[in-house]
Amino acid sequence: MAGSATAAHPTAGTTLKMVVGKSDTKPTWCPGCGDFGVVAAVEMAVKRLQIPSHDVVIVSGIGCSSNLPHFLSSYGFHGIHGRALPVAEGVRWANHGLTVIATGGDGDGFGIGAGHFVHTMRRNVDMTYVTMDNQIYGLTTGQASPTSMMGHKTKSTPTGVIENPIDPIALALASGATYVARGFSGDVKHMAELVANGIQHKGFAFVDALSPCVTYNKLNTFDWFRQRIYKLEGSGHDPTNLQLAWQRALEWGDKIPIGLFYKTDRPTYEDLEEVLAAGPLTKQPSGLKGREDLLKEFL
């Protein structure tokens, strides 16, 4: 699928203004925040696919990064902490003609929402999930997050984190995600490619975006990542090979891979939910007029 990101979305609009762009709300993030790179990548990806803005729904939870839906011109849903994915699933099942993208932070997705993360992946719901992973709680002013590294000193862990961090890539592989990638806010074009391919992927696409917090995370900074990241593309990695994906997923130290770890094809939840075979629920008839046959079982 790589390289096909320029193919037009089936319901692509004809006028450019219909395509997702910036909204009239300016991001409220700190200057230099990694999330600027992520919103730019998401915007670039949907623009490239020419999906009409009214067919895109961006769903988020709570946290600095979860404000993202307000900054783009598509439909959006800015829900409660940790629940972006179930809302996104509901939207998708109501109308599976829509392009559904969930966005949020590491606390939202891997802490309070970890249960939903695992279950949405095993269902292979056809949607894209972009996490802005800054390894810290920013909006609540600097506590440890589920991806904070061992030893990281934060407001809530003044002597250092004593829990092993969650590895979102490995968790995604273990949970059955069918598209698993990692991007870096410092490389917007690369991330946009990952997001665009994720949107085009038929199934659950997960993009963990390394998105440094310039205010509260003084450990995992842009420079820290720049010294370590390398691209899987061109490194001899085969993203169709689950074993190799596992090996690369476990790399986190002097070298940190970004790019596509794994991609496979599996029927989506929408494929297997037979009621949806008749088309999006929004377009199906509703109610039981003239369906007295249903009452026979009660006689």
Partner 1 sequence: MEEIAIRSGGAAGDGIASIGETLSKCLSRMGLHVFGFNAYQSVIRGGHVWFQARAAKERVYSQGDGCDILYALNKETAQIHLPSLRRGGVLVYDPENFTVADSELPVGTRALSVPTLAVARKFTSQPILQNAAGLGAVSFLAGIPLEVIQRTIADSFGTKKGDVVDWNVNGAGEGYRYAQQHGAPVGSAVAPAGPPKYLMAGNQAIALGAAAAGCKFLSQYPMTPASSIMHWMAAHSHQVGVVVKQAEDELAAINMAIGASFGGVRSMTATSGGGFSLMVEALGMAGMAEIPLVVVESQRCGPSTGLPTKTEQGDLNLMLGAGQGEFPRAILAPTHPVDAFRATIRAFELAEAWQTPILVASDLHLSESYATVDPGELDLNVDIPSLYTVEPNGGEYLRYRYTPSGVSPRSFPGQPGLNYVSGSDEHDEKGHLISDVKSGVPIWVAERTKMMSKRMRKLDGLAQATELPQILGPPSAELSFVAWGSTVGAVRDAMALLAARGVATNLIHLPTVYPIHAAELGRLLGSAKRTLLVEANFSGQLGRLIRAETGIHLTERLLKFDGEPFYPMEIVGRATEVLSHGR
140-199: which residues touch partner 1 (CB under 8 A)? none
| Residue range at the interface with partner 1 (CB under 8 A); choices 37-45, 61-69, 227-235, 240-248 | 61-69
d(CA 181, CA 200): 14
266-285: which residues touch partner 1 (CB under 8 A)? 273-276, 278, 281-282, 284-285
Closest distance of CB 145 from partner 1, Å:
20
DSSP state of 229: E
55 binds partner 1 (CB under 8 A): yes
73-92: which residues touch partner 1 (CB under 8 A)? 73-80, 82-83, 85-92
What residues form DSSP beta bridges with 231? 258
Token duo for residue 127: 């949607």
DSSP state of 273: -
Closest distance of CB 82 from partner 1, Å:
8
d(CA 108, CA 103): 9
Q: Are the CB atoms for 117 and 110 separated by under 8 Å?
A: yes
104-143: which residues touch partner 1 (CB under 8 A)? 115-116, 118-119
227-256: which residues touch partner 1 (CB under 8 A)? none
Closest distance of CB 235 from partner 1, Å:
36
d(CA 25, CA 35): 15
d(CA 109, CA 44): 23
Which CB, 233 or 271, lies closer to partner 1?
Answer: 271
What residues form DSSP beta bridges with 261? none
Count interface residues toward partner 1 (CB under 8 A): 62
| Rg (alpha carbons) of the chain, rounded to whole number | 20
Token duo for residue 121: 């992946």
d(CA 170, CA 158): 28
17-46: which residues touch partner 1 (CB under 8 A)? 18, 23, 25, 28
d(CA 193, CA 196): 5
Closest distance of CB 269 from partner 1, Å:
9
Lookup result for tokens 């094809």? 265
Which CB, 45 or 127, lies closer to partner 1?
Answer: 127
- Interacting residues toward partner 1 by CB under 8 A: 18, 23, 25, 28, 52-57, 59, 62, 67, 69-70, 73-80, 82-83, 85-95, 97-98, 115-116, 118-119, 273-276, 278, 281-282, 284-292, 294-295, 298-299
